C-alpha cells in the first residue's frame, strides 16, 4: 500500500490518508525527521509542501527544547506557525502517534486549518484541514504561562540546538513528570523570543 501523489482519501480505515501538519522536530532537517523519511521510503508518507496555520497559535518550547503547539487559537501573544504538510497512511500514523505519546497524554492529534506558503499549481491560496499534534490539554495552560504567554512563529535551528532526543533524556522519569517539573519550576524558560 502506498500513497499516491494525489493523496485521495478512502473511507476504509486501513487505507485512509491523513494530512499531518508538522511544526517541530519532524520537519526536514530536524531531530525526528528520520521517522518521516522511513515512512516516505515505504510509501506511507508523502511531503505535500510548506504550510502555515491560518489562525495564530502559541508555539512554545518545553523541557529539553521539545516544541509544543498549544490549542489556543488567537490568544494574544500567539503567531501564525510555519511547518510542513505530509499525507500519511493510517499505517504510517501509528509510529508518529507513538513518537508523540498520544496514548500517554503527551500530545493530542486534533484538526487544524493550514494554508500553503508560496505559489501552488492552481495559482491561488490553498487552504486545507489537517491534523496537528497539540500539547495535551492537561498541561497546555501551564506551558503557555511558563513561556511568558509568548509564542514562536517557527521552531528553528536556534531552538533545535537545545533539543534532547528521548533516548538521551533521563529514563527513570516519565515525560509527563519532566513536563510537570518544567512548568512548576521557578526558573524562567530557556527560550529567548
Burial letters for 107-130: b for 16+ Cβ neighbours within 10 Å, e otherwise? bbbeebebebbeeeeeeeebebeb
Alpha-carbon distance of 151 to 77, in angstroms, equals: 6
CA distances from 138 to 108, 135, 141, 162, 176 (A): 10, 8, 8, 25, 10
Query: Given 3-state DSSP classes, what are the helix, strand and coil percentages for the chain, each rounded to the nearest 5?
Result: 25, 25, 50
The upper half-sphere exposure of residue 193, i.e. CA atoms within 13 Å in the direction of its Cβ, equals 17
Residue 125 known to be catalytic: no
Please pick, among 4, 84, 100, 113, the residue that the annotation labels catalytic: 100
3-class secondary structure, 144 = helix
DSSP codes, 163-175: ---GGGS-SSS-H
What residues act catalytically? 100
Amino acid at each position: 500500500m502506498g500513497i499516491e501523489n494525489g493523496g485521495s482519501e478512502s473511507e476504509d480505515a486501513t487505507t485512509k490518508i491523513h494530512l499531518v501538519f508538522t511544526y517541530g522536530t519532524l520537519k526536514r532537517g530536524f531531530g525526528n525527521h528520520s521517522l518521516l523519511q522511513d515512512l516516505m521510503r515505504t510509501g506511507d508518507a508523502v511531503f505535500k509542501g510548506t504550510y502555515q496555520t491560518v489562525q495564530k497559535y502559541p508555539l512554545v518550547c518545553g523541557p529539553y527544547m521539545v516544541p509544543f503547539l498549544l490549542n489556543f487559537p488567537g490568544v494574544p501573544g500567539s503567531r501564525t506557525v510555519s511547518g510542513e504538510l505530509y499525507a500519511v497512511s493510517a499505517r504510517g500514523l501509528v509510529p508518529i502517534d507513538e513518537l508523540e505519546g498520544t496514548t500517554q497524554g503527551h500530545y493530542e492529534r486534533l484538526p487544524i486549518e493550514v494554508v500553503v506558503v508560496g505559489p501552488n499549481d492552481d495559482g491561488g491560496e490553498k487552504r486545507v484541514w489537517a491534523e496537528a499534534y497539540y500539547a495535551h490539554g492537561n498541561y497546555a495552560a501551564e506551558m503557555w504561562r511558563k513561556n511568558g504567554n509568548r509564542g514562536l512563529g517557527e521552531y528553528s535551528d536556534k531552538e533545535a540546538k537545545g533539543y534532547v532526543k528521548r533516548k538521551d533524556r533521563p529514563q527513570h522519569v516519565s515525560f509527563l513528570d519532566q513536563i510537570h517539573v518544567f512548568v512548576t519550576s521557578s526558573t524562567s524558560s530557556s527560550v529567548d523570543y
